[in-house]
Chain A
Amino acid sequence: MTSLSSTAPPGVVTSEGLAADLCCFPTPDQYFDLVSSFRDDDFEMCVDLCGVDYLEHFDRWLPDRIDATRFEVVVNLLSLSKKERVRVRVQAGDDAAEVHSLFALYPGTEAMEREVFDLFGILFTNHPDLTRILMPEEWEGHPLRKDYGAGRVPVQFKESPGPR
């Protein structure tokens, strides 16, 4: 297990306690250089990038010097040579959530970032083609946000909870 402090630049809070996975909590402006330092420290593959909307779960565990915001982008990096994973959780902000795109480091994240933009509305600066990927073009709203209704059609055989 590499001790993270060696690779992570100063000022980035790291913690190993959480379910024994390595986590980093950079601020949005440290985010890009942290991931590029990981890439130079031969984390060859960015496996996963997803968004989380913490509207109804603000009191989640966070290291002390990190101020919780509503949206969070979780990046999962994998080092094939060292057989290790690291999770980078960056607080992306509340309403105008904006994070730097990782396309320049890992071209594979282009589609994942489009999906996070499509389903959460988090913007990614200098992303080559930030358009919707899963929803139809003229769909309004971002479905995976917590304040977005489930779009459930009331089913007759239960006393249906009113219009959707």
Chain B
Amino acid sequence: MALEDLQHNFLTGPLEDIVRWARRASVWPASFGLACCAIEMMATGGADFDIARYGMEVFRNSPRQADLMIVAGRVSQKMAPVLRQVYDQMMEPKWVISMGVCASTGGLFNNYAIVQGVDQIVPVDVYAPGCPPSPETLMHAILTLHEQIRTGEIMKRRHEGRPVHLDGTPELWTPEVPVAVRVGTPK
């Protein structure tokens, strides 16, 4: 008998709210800074925009202690398996913010070297637009993520199913994540 098998009912309702509130209030980002967006992420962590007020006081460097991976910058084909490896090594529950258009859709660089969208490698929760997104945009993305955590599912592995209806039939919203395809593209 594990918590997973507990049916969501009246008794466990308030407990789950407490768990969700606790998770939402202290999400620690893993500093996965890649390119220009990483500089804006640093500026967001700086004194002027200060995401410490949302409980993100510290950027954990090891994935073991991080809850949120902000993919800040363009993901190259060589970096894709490393990104997937760090994502796998993060502890549950974990979330992913794809910061910037390069991470979300390949952005300006529609070519052989950039993975066109990091959701080909890791399931993404929130996409922050902008090149680079200004700190306000990143904070808006973080607040939407907090909203998702507050109303989201607490025990289910993230890519196993999006909103679990009470009658228990999970919708599979993302295809199982394909491995990053590393192949040259001769004309």
Q: Is A–B contact present in the complex under a CB 8 A cutoff?
A: yes
Chain A residue contacts of B187, Cβ below 8 A: 147-149
B13 within 8 A of A: no
Nearest CB of A to B181, in Å: 11
When distances are taken between beta carbons in the complex, the residues of chain B under 8 Å from A82 are: none
A141 contact from B111, B116, B184, Cβ within 8 A: B184
Please measure, in the bound complex, the distance between the C-alpha atom of A140 and the C-alpha atom of B181, giving whole angstroms: 13
In the assembled complex, which residues on chain A have CB atoms less than 8 Å from the CB atom of B78?
Answer: 135-136
| Docked-complex contact A143 and B106, CB < 8 angstroms | no
In the complex, what residues of B have CB within 8 A of residue A147's CB?
A: 186-187
Is there contact, CB below 8 Å, between B182 and A148? no
A140 and B111 contact, CB distance less than 8 A: no
* Chain A proximity mask over B85-97: 1 for CB below 8 Å, otherwise 0: 0000000000000
Partner of B111, one of A135, A136, A152, A155: A152
Does B183 sit within 8 A of A, measured CB to CB? yes
The count of chain A contact residues (Cβ–Cβ below 8 Å) is: 16
The answer to whether the Cβ of A151 comes within 8 Å of any Cβ in the partner chain is yes
Say whether A61 faces chain B, with CB atoms less than 8 Å apart: no
Asked if A138 lies at the interface with its beta carbon under 8 angstroms from chain B, I say yes
CB <8 Å contact, B112 and A143: yes
CB-based nearest A residue for B78: A136
Total residues of chain B contacting the partner, CB 8 A: 14
In this assembly, does B174 line the interface, its C-beta being within 8 Å of a C-beta of chain A?
no
Does A150 make an interface contact (CB < 8 A)? yes
Q: Which of the residues B77, B106, B112, B116 comes within 8 Å of A150, measured between beta carbons?
A: B112
- How near does chain B come to A145, taking the closest CB pair, in angstroms? 9
Verify B183–A140 contact, CB threshold 8 A.
yes
Q: Which residues of A contact B116 (CB under 8 A)?
A: 153
CB distance from A57 to the nearest CB of B (A): 17
Select one of A135, A148, A153 contacting B106, CB under 8 A.
A153
- A150-B111 in contact (CB<8A): yes
Q: Give the residue among B78, B112, B113 with the most A Cβ atoms within 10 A.
A: B112
A-B contact pairs, 26 of them (CB 8 A): A135-B77, A135-B113, A136-B77, A136-B78, A136-B182, A138-B182, A139-B77, A139-B184, A140-B183, A140-B186, A143-B112, A148-B112, A148-B185, A149-B112, A149-B186, A149-B187, A150-B110, A150-B111, A150-B112, A151-B111, A151-B185, A152-B110, A152-B111, A153-B106, A153-B116, A164-B185
Q: Which B residues are within 8 Å of any A CB, using their own CB?
A: 77-78, 106, 110-113, 116, 182-187
8 closest Cβ contacts across the A-B interface? A151-B112, A141-B184, A149-B187, A151-B185, A140-B184, A136-B78, A153-B116, A149-B185
